[in-house]
């Protein structure tokens, strides 16, 4: 079943039809979501009532567009805030991890490496509840001992950031390690021979070499944080990120404003993906 | 302390803080909480009561078994649907069409799972697109409800995890040399025996890592069963959520969490053992 081995035409046609059907199936729900963002009706469903931009820009009932809906706008900002901090922390720790595993051999290295991979195989909801339990125990202990109420340890954005960071860091580490392994150490040694201090050598030689991986890891972390649901669900407080807000809205029954948000998300992540790909090419 | 040792400890510190404070200690604490019972407000005694509850209450055990079986089923379906696609991308498509097909597989997964699920709701519900099309075509004379049942949920699970099957499969299949397949045919093999004795053994690492990730994602999924599943398709994560957030019974919820973690670790470990893979290799290749 490779091009150099002849196959009956019928088999080839059926195979091709299957592949086409598969890609239609992949596209179907996304197309449906996008199309109904422009339906001039209260419900994202048939019949088609005509084209409108109202679910994006409308500012009066019954069509309040997403750019005039306070709850959605503020949860988009919450998501951006969370995703920014998660990505920044994950890339920072991912970089130090990559250097640690790449440059040092020490006792317990293999054990730590497996431990570092584990967050990927722990279900997100379990990560969420374990952090929830631990942080509220710490908060309780602090309160008993000193009487202080530590807001950051109660469900809310700091915990959401910690929860997402706990597994996204593994991915950032893997992305950055994959590029660091390919780095030619003699370039760094050349810098050292020319009189650079070790830190200067890493800053001026190794980090620029790693830049595509750092940007890639940042974008991947940002997108994963933005669309995370399971871990966030267990740790969220009163400021809900976008996925949680949309989930609550969907349960109430939806208007096409959710389609508009979804389309915006698709465009946003598409743009980010393009940015990343163009960085990788350089 | 030499500068080399100093920088070693500076690099070690973030790793240890991260894994210690966010992974290891919280899980130990979760174990402790799951092993206690509340006797009075604020008073606890060590007990196995929560695990005993899990094994004696039919609702919990049945939900758990159902979730595990449905996740295995979802993994199998994803593999069967995804394999021919990966094979097509890796071996039959060439050049630019190969790259763009691969990219097209990735695109749906750049958007949130919520958006994908929402898409299926729009398509499948009673007032949805497919129901409308069926009526328009005269195949149905009243609205058809296709949402809120196990098939809809299965469709959602397979759709959501397809990427994690196709990407590792395509990567391993690409590394299979065409000449090996040709040799199989030259030695008198037919399409089926070449597939069974050459292609599948070669693709095994990709199959394993794809299956592990898909199984885990299905087992731990909350959104898809909640949005697409019906009243009878209770998912184990929903039990955990209700113990934590609705009933505030953290002890039982933590025990459930451990059962979920145990099941997922057991299956991952079993699959690795069965196929002689290691976590390092599987995860390294999958990313």
Measure Cα distances from A264 to A34, A66, B273 in Å. Answer: 9, 10, 44
B220 touches chain A (CB under 8 A): yes
Q: Sorting pLDDT into bands at 50, 70 and 90, what band is A83?
A: very high
B203 touches chain A (CB under 8 A): no
> How close is the nearest chain A Cα to the Cα of B18, in Å?
7
The predicted-structure confidence for A112-157, as pLDDT tens digits, reads as follows: 998 998 888 888 899 999 999 999 889 888 888 887 787 778 888 9
The predicted-structure confidence for B62-71, as pLDDT tens digits, reads as follows: 899 999 999 9
Relative to beta strand B36-40, strand A59-60 is: unpaired
Mean pLDDT, chain B, integer: 84
Pairwise CA distance, residues B18 & A118, whole Å: 12
B125 touches chain A (CB under 8 A): yes
Q: Report the pLDDT value the prediction gives residue B286, as an integer from 0 to 100.
A: 39
Q: Sorting pLDDT into bands at 50, 70 and 90, what band is B27?
A: very high
Contact flag B29-A92 (C-beta cutoff 8 Å): no
Contact flag B115-A104 (C-beta cutoff 8 Å): no
Cross-chain CB nearest to A269 (options B111, B223, B280): B111
Mean pLDDT, chain A, integer: 85
Q: Sorting pLDDT into bands at 50, 70 and 90, what band is A282?
A: low
B107-125 mean pLDDT: 83
B37 forms beta bridges with B45
A19 touches chain B (CB under 8 A): yes
Q: Report the pLDDT value the prediction gives residue B287, as an integer from 0 to 100.
A: 37
Asked if B218 and B75 touch (Cβ cutoff 8 Å), the reply is yes
Residue of A45, A111, A123, A139 for testing the chain B interface, max B β-carbons within 10 Å: A123
Contact flag A247-B162 (C-beta cutoff 8 Å): no
Q: Report the pLDDT value the prediction gives residue B269, as an integer from 0 to 100.
A: 85
CATH of A73-281, one of 1.10.3720.10, 1.10.150.530, 1.20.120.530, 2.40.50.100: 1.10.3720.10
A147 vs A19, residue with greater confidence: A19
> How close is the nearest chain B Cα to the Cα of A205, in Å?
18
Contact residues, A window 166-185, toward B, CB-based 8 Å cutoff: 166, 169, 171, 174-175, 178
Which residue from B minimizes the CA distance to A262? B115
Residues in A touching B245 (Cβ below 8 Å): 234
Nearest of B216, B222, B217 to residue B272 by alpha carbon: B216
B1-18 mean pLDDT: 83
Contact flag A262-B94 (C-beta cutoff 8 Å): no
Residue A64, pLDDT above cutoff 50: yes
Structure letter (DSSP) for residue B40: E
The predicted-structure confidence for B209-247, as pLDDT tens digits, reads as follows: 888 889 988 988 998 998 888 777 788 888 888 888 888
> How close is the nearest chain B Cα to the Cα of A51, in Å?
17
User: What is the Cβ-side half-sphere exposure of residue A179, based on CA atoms within 13 angstroms?
Assistant: 19
Q: Report the pLDDT value the prediction gives residue B128, as an integer from 0 to 100.
A: 76
Residue A74, pLDDT above cutoff 70: yes
Q: Sorting pLDDT into bands at 50, 70 and 90, what band is B186?
A: confident
> How close is the nearest chain B Cα to the Cα of A59, in Å?
24
All structural domains of chain B, each given as residue ranges with its CATH number in brackets, are 58-286 (1.10.3720.10)
Residue B283, pLDDT above cutoff 70: no
Residues in A touching B43 (Cβ below 8 Å): none
Residues in B touching A174 (Cβ below 8 Å): 283-284, 287
Residues in chain B: 287
Q: Report the pLDDT value the prediction gives residue A183, as an integer from 0 to 100.
A: 86
The yes/no answer to whether this complex scores an ipTM above 0.90 is no
Cross-chain CB nearest to A46 (options B29, B132, B219): B132
Cross-chain CB nearest to A166 (options B22, B115, B216): B22
Q: Report the pLDDT value the prediction gives residue A62, as an integer from 0 to 100.
A: 67
Residues in B touching A169 (Cβ below 8 Å): 18
Nearest of B193, B151, B9, B224 to residue A250 by alpha carbon: B224
Q: Report the pLDDT value the prediction gives residue B199, as an integer from 0 to 100.
A: 83
Instruction: Provide the CA A230 distance to its chain's centre, in angstroms.
Output: 13
Per mean pLDDT, which of A105-114, A185-194, A255-264, B69-78 is the most reliable? B69-78
Containing B209, the helix (H) or strand (E) segment is helix B200-219
Cross-chain CB nearest to A243 (options B112, B127, B245): B112
Cross-chain CB nearest to A125 (options B8, B33, B240): B240
User: What percentage of chain B reaches a pLDDT higher than 70?
Assistant: 97
> How close is the nearest chain A Cα to the Cα of B169, in Å?
15
Contact flag B23-A2 (C-beta cutoff 8 Å): no
Asked if A67 and A57 touch (Cβ cutoff 8 Å), the reply is yes
Residues in B touching A93 (Cβ below 8 Å): 14-15, 18
Residue A54, pLDDT above cutoff 90: no
Asked if A73 and A56 touch (Cβ cutoff 8 Å), the reply is no
Contact flag B119-A28 (C-beta cutoff 8 Å): yes
Contact flag A15-B88 (C-beta cutoff 8 Å): yes
A102 touches chain B (CB under 8 A): no
Q: Report the pLDDT value the prediction gives residue A33, as an integer from 0 to 100.
A: 86
Contact flag A112-B19 (C-beta cutoff 8 Å): yes
The predicted-structure confidence for A195-214, as pLDDT tens digits, reads as follows: 888 888 888 888 888 888 89
Cross-chain CB nearest to A93 (options B14, B30, B181): B14
Q: Report the pLDDT value the prediction gives residue B284, as an integer from 0 to 100.
A: 54
């Amino acid at each position: 079943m490779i091009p150099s081995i002849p196959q009956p035409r019928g088999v080839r046609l059926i195979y091709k039809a299957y592949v086409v059907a598969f890609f239609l199936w992949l596209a179907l729900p996304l197309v449906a979501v996008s199309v109904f963002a422009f339906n001039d009706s209260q419900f994202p469903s048939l019949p088609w009532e005509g084209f409108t931009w109202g679910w994006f820009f409308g500012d009066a009932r019954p069509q309040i567009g997403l750019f005039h809906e306070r709850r959605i706008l503020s949860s988009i900002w919450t998501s951006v805030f969370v995703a920014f901090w998660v990505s920044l922390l994950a890339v920072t720790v991912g970089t130090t991890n990559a250097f640690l595993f790449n440059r040092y051999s020490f006792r317990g290295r293999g054990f730590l490496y497996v431990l570092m991979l584990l967050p990927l195989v722990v279900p997100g909801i379990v990560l969420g509840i374990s952090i929830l339990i631990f942080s509220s125990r710490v908060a309780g202990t602090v309160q008993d001992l000193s009487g202080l109420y530590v807001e950051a340890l109660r469900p809310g954005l700091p915990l959401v950031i910690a929860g997402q960071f706990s597994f996204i860091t593994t991915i950032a580490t893997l992305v950055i390690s994959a590029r660091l392994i390919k780095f030619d150490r003699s370039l760094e040694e050349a810098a050292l021979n020319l009189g650079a201090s070790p830190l200067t050598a890493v800053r001026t030689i190794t980090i620029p070499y790693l830049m595509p991986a750092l940007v890639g890891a940042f974008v991947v972390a940002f997108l994963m944080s933005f669309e995370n649901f399971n871990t966030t669900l267990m740790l969220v407080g009163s400021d809900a990120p976008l996925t949680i807000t949309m989930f609550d809205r969907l349960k109430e029954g939806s208007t096409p404003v959710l389609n508009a948000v979804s389309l915006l998300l698709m465009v946003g992540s598409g743009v980010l993906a393009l940015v990343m790909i163009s960085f990788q090419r350089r | 302390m030499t500068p080399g040792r100093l920088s070693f400890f500076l690099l070690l510190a973030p790793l240890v803080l991260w894994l210690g404070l966010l992974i290891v200690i919280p899980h130990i604490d979760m174990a402790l909480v799951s092993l206690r019972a509340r006797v009075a407000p604020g008073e606890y005694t060590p007990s196995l009561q929560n695990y005993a509850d899990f094994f004696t209450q039919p609702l919990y055990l049945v939900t758990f078994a159902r979730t595990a079986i449905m996740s295995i089923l979802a993994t199998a379906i994803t593999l069967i649907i995804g394999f021919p696609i990966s094979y097509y991308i890796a071996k039959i498509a060439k050049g630019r069409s190969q790259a763009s097909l691969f990219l097209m597989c990735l695109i749906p997964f750049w958007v949130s799972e919520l958006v994908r699920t929402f898409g299926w709701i729009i398509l499948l519900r009673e007032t949805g697109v497919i129901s409308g099309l069926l009526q328009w075509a005269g195949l149905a004379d009243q609205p058809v409800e296709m949402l809120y049942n196990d098939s809809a949920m299965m469709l959602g699970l397979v759709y959501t995890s397809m990427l994690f099957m196709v990407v590792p499969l395509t990567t391993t299949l690409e590394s299979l040399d065409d000449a090996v397949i040709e040799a199989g045919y030259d030695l008198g093999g037919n399409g089926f025996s070449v597939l069974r004795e050459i292609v599948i053994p070669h693709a095994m690492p990709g199959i394993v890592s794809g299956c592990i990730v898909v199984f885990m994602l299905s087992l731990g999924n909350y959104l898809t069963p909640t949005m697409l599943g019906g009243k009878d398709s209770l998912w184990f994560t929903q039990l955990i959520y209700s113990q934590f957030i609705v009933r505030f019974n953290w002890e039982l919820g933590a025990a459930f969490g451990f059962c979920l973690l145990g099941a997922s670790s057991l299956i991952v470990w079993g699959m690795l053992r069965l196929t002689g893979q290691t976590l390092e290799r599987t995860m390294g290749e999958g990313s």
